[in-house]
Chains A and B, each alone.
Chain A
Amino acid sequence: MRRRDFVKGILAASASARALAAQQVAPAAPLTPPAAPHTLPPATPVAAGPTPWMQGLMEVKPLELSTLVPDAVAQTDAHFFNPQQTATLERLCALLMPALKGYPGALEAGAPEFLDFLIGVSPRDRKQMYQTGLDWLDEESRHKFLVVFAKTTDLQADALIRPWLRPWMTDHPPTERRARFINLVHTDIRTATTNSQAWSEVAQAAGRTSAGLDLYWYPVDPDIHRATRAQMQSQGQGQPALGQVGRDQNAPRKRGI
């Protein structure tokens, strides 16, 4: 309370100062009638000045407004993958994570569009892994079945995918190039799907009320120079390759400390 009064005082002082400054350019105040004898002189008229910009914010209550995430009503403008790569990715999504048991599949969850965005802002090595992997899959399909991967039957697609599937442990995806691509893209598609709002809504309706909820940390007293610094340092500086970056709700939380 004491702090609030102090801040109010600061704001008031600031307002007075601005009002004084404003007097120099403000229109002249209307003439006042002559004061009657034996009465106190009238208060000095205050010229109209700009309203202090932060006025009233100390008392305002948080706005009770139910907000949306963009995915609830909007589509992602996908532009990273070329049309052929996009078609291949969409086919992979339909194959690897179809709608099941009332839960949306990857296509319904918008996974292809989200991954187009995510990979498009990812480090170079991850972009390359996706682009070369999708191109390779398409070429394999043309070579073996004379159709683009997007047009494969489930049987044909399975013949291309299954030889590369591996069981693996967190942080240790397969190291062979093809297997690495297939297994990482599979995990990414699953994560993009199970972390979607569409998935969450079905989980909520099924009574899994805490599904996907966790404690999010905002930046704590962030460095005011951080953005500039990071921008400078990232220019021309690639990031090391990583095995995986997604948060899989089914995976155990990593430990270490």
Chain B
Amino acid sequence: MAEETVDVLIIGSGHSGGMAAKILTEKGISSLMLNAGPVADVHKDTEVKPVYALPFRGFKNPGILPHVFQSDEFNANTWVDEKENPYTYDPQHPYNWVRVRLFGGRSLFWSRQSFRLSDYELKGKSHDGYGDDWPIALADLAPYYSRVEAIFRVSGHADGLPQYPDGNFVPDDSPWSGCMQRFVAAGKGMGVPVCKPRSSLGVDGLASSVNLLLPDAVATGKLRAIPNVVVRELSVDKNTGLVNEAHFVDRLSRREMSVKARVVVLAAGTLESTRLLLNSKLANSSGVMGHYLIDQIYGAGIACSVPEARDGKGAPDLMGGGGLVPRFRNIDTKAKDFIRGYALNLYSNPHGMDPRHFAAYGEELQTKLDSYHGSGFSAGIMGEVLARYENHVSIDKTVVDAWDIPALHVETKYTDNEFNMARDAVDTAVAMAEAAGFEVLTKNYDPNPPGYSIHELGTCRMGDDPKTSVLNKWNQSHDIKNLFVVDGSAFVSGGWQNPTMTILSLAMRSSEYLAEQMRQGNV
């Protein structure tokens, strides 16, 4: 029987767990990583296939992954099967919980959009009076953002906008395509900034924990890892009150095991980390654990055509490229029926059009598809969802997963602030597109269900007051000083920005703090 006590136990292997492993092991701290899923090997686990050779001709196995709109039959086996790992919600208020348990987690599959939060988000209450400020400001995070951006090789252009903070970029000085120039000009006329997108180039196209973070940890010789173990519960030493053990179950054999640790770093992803703590009945003296679940509005947007690009005239200097309208509402002026703001993702599509954008069929539709080929332009919202106490998760004692671990119940819904924001985003996009001379083919005001963005945040929010927050500003539990939660659950507000860079920066900052506290003997 092994009776080892590991120095740091890291639960989760995605961006946050990978960053924790990299920082801690590079500081000389031995770490053990537990991951709920297997290590994927693209050479062994994949094959290039024609869609007609798939069992369901590209439709997916019906009824499987009903909440993973991002899935298709090619990638269906990479997502968490929700029959195996269920969650519950009120049918009137569905929630899309999109999960990956492969080693590397969701860092294997993400859009690469790489943004900093601004003080309009980190100090949102100070700006508009709603919610709570974070206990940290952009100035606290900026040095970490810079280091993360260097690791992930973030491509971007410095725009000098306070709501779209510049970073440590691989410079993007590429010219706008013609249609984007027209959209930029339309924005200028309406006081709406249109900027270059910012995204992680990574290495060889991959910007994941498995290629940018974990290899550095492995190289130290200080990281060990166990795949295929699902953590059931954490327990504390009754004398010290410190967390000292993780109980887990082997995913395949169902063998129950446990491991002792001096420090636990939770990085299982926002809702899995919170689920584990709620099931463990730990670190919740504030009573706010599980509350203030946040995500971002996606799905509302428009699809257009650039008339001059039709009938084979969509040359590369006219079509192609993307852009980003950063938040512009509620900065210097006040929107009439919502607070906070949204961004618009812009894409110019030099390829085929989506047939669903036309109310036609048969030969008439084909004629349109041929004519409109290469003329597509779309805009989609990324909007802030307000942090609300009532949007929360709890343990559903009536449902367990395949390992008999109680499942999560999600209660969240959008309100008028989100719906009004989505309507404003679509109306603004339509006005800009029409000003640019584009034909608007279709538009949609309805956001996708909460969770769709895969940017679930909050539920273990950080704060200075232990009575109103779960973690302190170092992602350390107020209640249990050797427990750190370094994933997105620490967020106080979400903003419109893809949170990956912020999660990574917080994990880096927290892990360096932890290493120093361990060195000083405080943890």
Contact = CB atoms under 8 A, between A and B. Distances in A.
Interface of A: 69, 71, 95-98, 100-101, 114, 118, 121-123, 126, 161, 165-172, 183, 186-188, 190-192, 195-197, 199-200, 212-221, 223-226, 229-230, 233-234, 239-240, 242, 245-252, 254-257
Contacts of B369: 250
B358 A167 contact: yes
Contact of B45 (A192, A213, A220): A220
Given A216-B54, A223-B251, A247 B366 contact: no
A168 B442 contact: yes
B83 A195 contact: no
A247 B378 CA distance: 19
Interface stretch (B73-81, B119-127, B471-479): B73-81
Given A123-B62, A240-B66, A220 B40 contact: yes
Interface of chain A, main secondary structure: loop
B366 A101 contact: yes
Max chain A C-beta neighbours (<10 A), residue from B299, B354, B378, B455: B354
A251 B448 CA distance: 17
A98 B363 contact: yes
A171 B98 CA distance: 16
Contact of A251 (B57, B73, B356, B366): B356
Interface residues of B, number: 81
5 contacts: A101-B366, A225-B402, A226-B402, A234-B63, A256-B70
Contacts of A114: 57
Contact of B299 (A95, A171, A190, A212): A171
Contacts of A233: 83, 86
Interface string B215-230: 0000000000000100
Interface in B317-374: 347, 349, 352-363, 366, 369
A230 B110 CA distance: 28
B303 A223 contact: no
A256 B102 contact: no
Nearest to A98: B362
Given A196-B52, A223-B402, A217 B454 contact: no
Contact of B354 (A170, A213, A246): A170
A122 B76 CA distance: 16
A169 B48 contact: no
The 9 lowest CB-CB distance pairs between A and B, nearest first, are A221-B38, A257-B110, A122-B62, A167-B442, A247-B58, A165-B359, A197-B52, A195-B58, A216-B49
